[in-house]
Amino acid sequence: MDTLQNMRVFVRVVEAGSFTGAAQHLNTTTAYASRAVSDLEAHLRTRLLNRTTRRIALTEAGERYLQRCEQILAYVDQAEAEASDAHARPSGKLKVHAMTSFGQHYVVPAVRRYQQRYPEVHIELTLAQRVPDLLDEGYDVALVMAQDLPDSGLVSQRLGSTFSIVCASPAYLERNGVPQAPSDLSRYTCLQMVTPVFPTDEWTFDGPNGQETHLLGAATFQVNVAEALAVGVREGMGLGLLPVYSAMNGLRSGELVWVMPEYTSQEMNLYALYPSRQYLDAKIRTWVEFLRDELPATLAANQAELRKFART
């Protein structure tokens, strides 16, 4: 028995004053309306309406039940309207997860621009060096840097790619000279970033001679966040393999120098992950669409600007 539907029929019968009037309003038959109320009474084991051939009247129990039905149906209608509106109009809280350094440089500025367009969306951003469990942790969207994605059952949208470059401080290069190729790196102190994606004991480069791998010696400094690694490089502690987005500000200010500009490393794809395509909430849909429109151009602009910082 569809209790909710039977409640609707019961309320409509009372409002119309007859089964026939309720049936006409609901575009159904009088027999259906009568049976719906009878099923409801049988389920409750309570008589709700006194019936004669000419009129109907609420019992005392029917009066109390009518008030509750009206309240319940009003809440249901409100809930359905809110859910339908969520599909059509971006609003409410959007929980986003992103990798730390990428999130600082690209996601936070994107949030500002997105909210200028959709001011009713409130974004809760978490930055961490891991891939979250969207379903268990309640995130709407995760922005993940990876070479490839494992099969997770989640929906993914590729938003672009980026890579890392070797940087040093001007003072460090004055003291130690400028490396020209990966084979030179054994003479330099190489600071290391610990990530779950790339090994900590080697740097692999793509360059004019194809792919080359340099094995690192004992680490004098390791850290798990690119921003902290960039500080160490600026302080002259050694060479560092920095993601482009973490190196740009230092390159612009002159605190960092890009060395071996013919070589790049650790190319990564950026993906937006979310649970489902079906009945996608408007705030999730518009956020992913916004990132898909904005981020590739931003990444491309940074990589084009990078060329002017090449030092050989």
- Distance of alpha carbon 112 from alpha carbon 128, whole angstroms: 20
Please write the tens of the pLDDT for every residue from 96-137.
999 888 899 899 999 999 999 999 999 999 998 888 888 788
Q: Please state, in angstroms and as integers, the Cα–Cα distance from residue 218 to each residue in 155, 159, 192, 197, 221, following that order.
A: 40, 36, 10, 20, 9
pTM value is: 0.68
Provide the H-helix boundaries in 198-281. 226-234, 244-253
CATH assignment of 162-267, given 3.40.190.290, 3.90.550.50, 3.10.20.30, 3.90.100.10? 3.40.190.290
More confident residue, 149 or 3: 3
More confident residue, 242 or 84: 242
Please write the tens of the pLDDT for every residue from 255-304.
999 999 999 998 889 999 988 766 678 899 899 999 999 898 888 888 88
**pLDDT for 212 beyond 90:** no
pLDDT at 199: 67
pLDDT at 278: 65
Please write the tens of the pLDDT for every residue from 137-156.
889 999 988 887 766 678 88
pLDDT at 76: 83
Structural domain boundaries in the chain: 3-88, 92-157+269-303, 162-267
Tell me whether residue 102 is exposed, middle or buried, using C-beta atoms within 10 angstroms of its C-beta: 0 to 12, 13 to 18, 19 or more: buried
Please write the tens of the pLDDT for every residue from 53-70.
778 888 988 889 989 988
- Distance of alpha carbon 155 from alpha carbon 152, whole angstroms: 9
- Distance of alpha carbon 136 from alpha carbon 143, whole angstroms: 16
pLDDT at 124: 93
**pLDDT for 198 beyond 80:** no
CATH class (in words) of the domain with range 3-88: mainly alpha
Task: For residue 169, give every residue at least 6 positions away whose Cβ sits within 8 Å of its Cβ, in sequence order, or none.
Answer: 233, 234, 235, 236, 255, 256, 257
CATH assignment of 92-157+269-303, given 1.10.287.70, 3.40.190.10, 3.40.50.2300, 3.90.1150.10? 3.40.190.10
User: Scanning the structure block, which residue is given the tokens 């669409």?
Assistant: 289
pLDDT at 85: 57
Residues 171 and 236 sit within 8 Å (Cβ to Cβ): yes
pLDDT at 91: 82
Give me the chain's average pLDDT, please.
87
Q: Do domains 3-88 and 92-157+269-303 have the same CATH topology?
A: no
Tokens of residue 223, six digits: 């850290």
* Section 161-175 average pLDDT: 94
Phi, psi dihedral angles at 14 (to 5 degrees): -65, -45
**pLDDT for 312 beyond 50:** no
